[in-house]
Structure 1
């Protein structure tokens, strides 16, 4: 008997990470609609030891034991292989996503708070007209209007997580703001 025998995916939180990569590609497409002549920078943040951040109630640690090379191990947090671990991590990932989006809109206070952690950003040279000619054009439609709201303000990146990875993209003008929001979240 294992913990997977006592759990049902029907009672666990929804798993959203399979949609993260398509959402990321849609975001890049919408960036290209709004910024047809600019470089788009792709980034990724990884949450180190992600599953270990969510701890089990001490009453259920006994259900998360395993033996390896004659040693008995107790999993105090989520582990790879448990059918509930991805769903339990999704809650943390969704909170981080929403926090990053909120912090993105508060760039005036977000960027100074993480300035000492920001990598030195060096951007590619501005694309030449011949470079721009190689960019695949993106056309707006009802589902892909670009990354600008109706009032002219810029939309936040989506910050969709693929389990413990957070891929995001932006143009140079907003990249420091985008990285800062992700780091602080």
Structure 2
């Protein structure tokens, strides 16, 4: 069991090292849209610290997660809208042909109307959730942009920031694995 977590940690470490090496070789822009400074290069404004870069990496990941969440909800809402609109068309067509003297036909028709109402409610719920996700994404973007995209930094500091973040993630994963296995973390 522990070896599986080590493989996972090694894979994570490799991915983060790759990202850090890409960041250290950047010479014009960072992953956030700011400006990577070469060693010894001066900047008119303040260069971001390692801690600020770690915060930007975390914000960037959060922003990506929020975007994926909003994209998923948008797809679900589109599908739910198609479903309730399709049911509305079926109901309209069946209403024209409904035999008012056939109780079975009336019951089947009413069941479709109820299904349509449930589909509309599901769609409305998804729209509310989508709007909340988009609002969260916008709020995070408003924090991220001025904090991370308009600043300069030294590439070596970005490499350090990725390394710090990698160690924090590895420690968190180790703690979670220990909790699952019921052993104390080291």
TM-score by length of 2: 0.23
Higher strand proportion (structure 1 or 2) = 1
Give the structure with higher Rg (CA): 2
TM-score by length of 1: 0.23
